[in-house]
Amino acid sequence: MVTTQEARPTAPSPPRSRPPAQPSGGPTAASRALSLLAESWRPAAVLLALFAVWWFVAWRELVPAYLVPSPGAVAETMAADWPMLLEHTWVTTLETIVGFVLAAVIGVAAAVLLVYSRTAEKSLYPLILFAQVIPKIAIAPILVVWFGFGMTPKIVLAVLIAFFPVVVSAVAGLRSVDPELLEMSATMGASRWKTFRKIRFPGALPQLMSGLKVAVTLAVVGAVVGEFVGADRGLGYVLLLASGNLDAPLLFADLILMSLIGVVLFVLVEVLERLLIPWHASRRGNLALATV
């Protein structure tokens, strides 16, 4: 122990203990693209194989065309009915986005209330859990009775379905704050609001974001189910029409568009996540697109 040099303390020497290789900035763009490719070729290959099976089944007419149309027929329908499909896609997308955003705002607000107020937590949290058990799809007809055939019941249903994962993840995130950080904040004389804004909320973001990713895919389900029950617009409505006419190509085209809405919105939330919490994403070391 006595061996340490005594002259050390004088000058502000650069950090001696294990300097990090790169203080900031991650891998280069090229290596990123490469790792993206490495991550995504497998699912892409599986998808391609499934597509090939579909094409083969339709081509050999192993299943009648009115049950499984060929990819070509689906593409033709999509091209022919494109303006109509686009309009309905837009309606469903709008319902989904509005429902999702409302669910996110209401869910986070509810979570803050639950975390900061013992009374609210004790009286409301069990009810929120209980409400989650009610089959939302069974509520849809009631919503139609209440709100009519417009966008409102679809949005409400999307909110109801997407709300739960947001609340649960936000509550978990807000609660997971390190108590030492709160003590530190107290020694700085910080107000509750500043502590929330600068410590608690950013610390809750990683968990909140994963809740939002679940919520956005559920919001699509809510909107479509709402359209099933009673609508004159939207992809859910088109699906019912196509089903009534035994129009398999249109059914498939519609289904593809619905899935696309989900995928695109999911990726958007993921991009948002990477913008909001790069510090967290960087620790995962890998591009999260692997989860898409």
Partner 1 sequence: MTATTGPTTEHGAAARAADAEPIIEVSHLTRRFTSKRSETVALDDVSLAVLPGEFVTIAGPSGCGKSTLLKIIAGLTLATEGDVRLYGRAVTGPQREIGFAFQRSALLEWRGVRRNILLQAEMRGMDRRRAEERADHLIELTGLTGFEKALPHELSGGMQQRVALCRALLHEPRVLLMDEPFGALDALTREQMNIEMNRIWRETGTTVVLVTHSVPEAVYLGSRIVVMSPRPGRIVETLEPGLPERREYGPTLADPRFTAAAERLRDLLGASHAPE
In the complex, which residues of this chain contact partner 1 (CB under 8 A)?
A: 1-10, 12-20, 22-24, 178, 180-181, 183-190, 194-195, 198-199, 202-203, 277, 279-280, 282-283
Q: Smallest gap, in angstroms, from Cβ of residue 28 to partner 1?
A: 17
Query: Residue 107 CB, nearest distance to partner 1 (Å)?
Result: 22
Q: Least separation, in Å, of the C-beta of 285 and partner 1?
A: 11
Task: Report the nearest approach of partner 1 to the CB of residue 269 (Å).
Answer: 19
- Min dist CB 134 to partner 1, Å, is 37
Q: Which of 277, 274, 272 is nearest to 288 (CA)?
A: 274
**Quick check: 215 and 100 in contact, CB under 8 A?**
yes
- Which sign, positive or negative, has the C-alpha torsion 169, 174, 179, 184? positive
Identify which of residues 182 and 260 has a Cβ nearer to partner 1 in the complex: 182
Give the chain's largest Cα–Cα span.
90
CB closer to partner 1, 274 vs 280: 280
Report in angstroms how near the CB of residue 26 gets to partner 1 at its nearest. Answer: 11
How many residues are listed for the chain in this entry? 292
Burial class (CB in 10 A: 0-12, 13-18, 19+), 124: middle
Which residues contact residue 152 at a Cβ distance below 8 angstroms, ignoring those fewer than 6 apart? Answer: 143
Cα torsion at 268, 273, 278, 282 (round to 10°)?
-90
What per-residue string of b and e applies to 197-236 under the rule 16 or more CB within 10 Å gives b?
eebbbbbbbbbbbbbbbbbbbbbbbbbbbbbebbbebbbb
**How far is 111 from 105, CA to CA, in rounded Å?**
10
Which residue, 3 or 119, has its beta carbon nearer to partner 1?
3
Q: Between 81 and 273, name the residue whose CB sits nearer to partner 1.
A: 273
| Residue placing its CB nearer to partner 1 in the complex, 169 or 195 | 195
Name the residue nearer to partner 1 (CB basis): 12 or 244: 12
